[in-house]
């Protein structure tokens, strides 16, 4: 099984159980690819989740309790505001009488908000949905989130299960960070094909991406490319005078307007913009797309705990995955086809640091980024 999964993730070259990959490539490249393989294999080999089919009596009691609570507060960064509000409306349609209060901001902002509120003894949030897995590891240490195994958690794609052995958080969305370009001003032949292509002098003053202090997607991207190529890559990228926003999605606006021509950003929201007629497109980098898992968790002192559980259950449902696909996101469930324009993740070369590295290294990377880019 290990060999099969290793080949799936890294091509014909294999990672051995000792963590060494056979074949060419730099040390950092081997490390990133092997780390991804190990994390995927450990996920598959973890103890199976107990199947959670909805017990009618228990579910009815939970729904009644949630209706008495009246609402669920959802701090979310993994979606644009339009998609997040669509999720809220779909949930409200399924559970009349339970309102979803969407609080949408970048990952860094909602993370700091929870920390500041908890230090002040304020517990306003029910469900936390960030794009940075390290946030959840810190919350676990601080006992700010609690275990919950959602109904039908065993029905999502197997590789999205078991992300946390204690079930304190569950994957609720996945995606990749890849290359993007303005299709009116950059031809298919001329567009960047890999991350190092962004260092070509012809892209000086023409690049855009977000900021790792605000965006969990960008923080993971910076850490991944640092592992792959070293910090020298970003020192060279800084000399290209990129336009740096906050959210990873800011680059889509900058490309659509023609203010910048190439960018690093998320697959789903870029595809969504393209389908709405904007002159943008995506390219899967030859040296690897950064794999993103966006978990969700129930806050330990959630003021609306039953409604929070219902929302976590909803993330595992077929109708939720269908809504994701309509908005350009990969589905959580295998019984829902992915959106047109995105490759199946099994066909994409993926890179990603392990969760423990996300927790310890992203704060350091953010400070390094600020120093290098002066922002």
What is the distance of C-alpha 81 from the center of its chain? Answer: 15
Same domain, 274 and 303: no
pLDDT tens sequence across 224-262 = 999 999 999 999 999 999 999 999 999 999 999 999 999
Which class for 84: exposed (0-12), middle (13-18), buried (19 or more C-beta within 10 A)? buried
Predicted structure pTM score: 0.77
Same domain, 64 and 165: yes
Is residue 31 predicted with pLDDT exceeding 50? no
Task: Look at residue 349 and tell me if it is in a domain.
Answer: no
Task: Look at residue 41 and tell me if it is in a domain.
Answer: yes
Q: CB–CB of 180/270 below 8 Å? A: yes
The chain-wide mean pLDDT, for the chain, equals: 88
Average of pLDDT values for 336-355?
90
Same domain, 70 and 170: yes
Same domain, 285 and 297: no
Predicted local confidence at residue 44, as pLDDT: 39
Phi, psi of 145 (to 5 degrees): -125, 155
Same domain, 145 and 84: yes
Task: Look at residue 51 and tell me if it is in a domain.
Answer: no
Same domain, 105 and 126: yes
pLDDT bin (cut points 50, 70, 90) of residue 344 is confident
Same domain, 120 and 30: no
Average of pLDDT values for 6-29?
38
Report the distance separating Cα 153 and Cα 53, nearest Å.
9
Predicted local confidence at residue 355, as pLDDT: 84
Same domain, 316 and 257: no
Same domain, 365 and 275: yes
Same domain, 239 and 299: no
Is residue 11 predicted with pLDDT exceeding 90? no
Is residue 287 predicted with pLDDT exceeding 50? yes
Predicted local confidence at residue 159, as pLDDT: 87
Q: Report percent pLDDT > 90 for the chain.
A: 79
Same domain, 248 and 358: yes
Half-sphere exposure for 349 (CA within 13 Å, toward CB): 15
Closest to 126 (Cα-Cα) out of 175, 88, 90 = 88
Query: What helix, strand, coil percent values describe the chain, rounded to 5?
Result: 45, 15, 40
DSSP-assigned letter for residue 127: E
pLDDT bin (cut points 50, 70, 90) of residue 25 is very low
Is residue 1 predicted with pLDDT exceeding 50? no
> Among 13-22, 25-34, 323-332, which range has the highest average pLDDT?
323-332
Task: Look at residue 11 and tell me if it is in a domain.
Answer: yes
Is residue 38 predicted with pLDDT exceeding 70? no
Question: Three-class SS of residue 146?
Answer: strand
Domain at 101, CATH number: 3.40.190.10
Average of pLDDT values for 168-182?
97
Task: Look at residue 20 and tell me if it is in a domain.
Answer: yes
Predicted local confidence at residue 71, as pLDDT: 98
Task: Look at residue 50 and tell me if it is in a domain.
Answer: no
Task: Look at residue 284 and tell me if it is in a domain.
Answer: yes
Q: Which domain does 132 fall in, by range?
A: 56-174+292-343
Same domain, 12 and 26: yes
Q: Which residue has the tokens 């047109």?
A: 340
Report the residue count for the chain: 375
Counted domains in the chain: 3
Task: Look at residue 348 and tell me if it is in a domain.
Answer: no
Average of pLDDT values for 6-24?
36
């Amino acid at each position: 099984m290990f060999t099969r999964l290793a080949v799936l993730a890294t091509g014909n070259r294999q990672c051995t159980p000792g963590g060494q990959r056979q074949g060419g490539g730099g040390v950092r490249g081997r490390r990133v690819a092997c780390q991804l393989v190990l994390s995927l294999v450990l996920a598959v080999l973890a103890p199976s989740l107990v199947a959670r089919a909805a017990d009618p009596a228990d579910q009815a009691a939970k729904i009644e309790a949630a209706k008495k609570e009246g609402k669920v507060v959802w701090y979310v960064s993994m979606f644009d505001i339009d998609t997040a509000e669509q999720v809220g409306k779909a949930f409200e349609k399924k559970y009349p009488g339970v309102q979803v209060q969407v609080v949408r901001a970048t990952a860094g902002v909602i993370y700091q908000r929870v920390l500041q509120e908890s230090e002040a003894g304020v517990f306003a949030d029910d469900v936390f949905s960030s794009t940075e897995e390290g946030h959840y590891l810190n919350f676990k240490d601080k006992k700010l989130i609690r275990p919950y195994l959602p109904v039908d958690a065993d029905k999502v794609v197997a590789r999205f299960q078991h992300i946390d052995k204690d079930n304190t958080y569950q994957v609720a969305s996945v995606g990749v960070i890849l290359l993007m370009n303005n299709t009116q001003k950059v031809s298919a032949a001329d567009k960047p094909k890999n991350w190092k292509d962004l260092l070509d002098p012809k892209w000086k003053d023409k690049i855009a991406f977000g900021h790792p202090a605000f965006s969990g997607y960008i923080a993971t991207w910076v850490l991944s490319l640092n592992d792959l190529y070293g910090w020298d890559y970003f020192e060279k990228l800084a000399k290209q005078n990129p336009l740096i926003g906050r959210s990873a999605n800011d680059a889509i606006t900058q490309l659509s307007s023609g203010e910048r021509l190439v960018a690093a950003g998320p697959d789903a929201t870029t595809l969504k913009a393209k389908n709405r007629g904007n002159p943008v497109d995506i390219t899967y980098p030859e040296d690897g797309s950064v794999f993103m898992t966006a978990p969700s968790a129930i806050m330990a002192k959630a003021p609306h705990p039953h409604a929070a559980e219902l929302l976590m259950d909803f993330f595992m449902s077929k109708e939720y995955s269908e809504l994701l696909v309509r908005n350009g996101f990969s589905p959580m469930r295998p019984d829902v086809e992915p959106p047109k324009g995105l490759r199946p993740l099994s066909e994409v070369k993926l890179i990603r640091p392990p969760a423990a590295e996300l927790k310890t290294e992203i704060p350091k990377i953010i400070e390094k980024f600020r120093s290098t880019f002066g922002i």
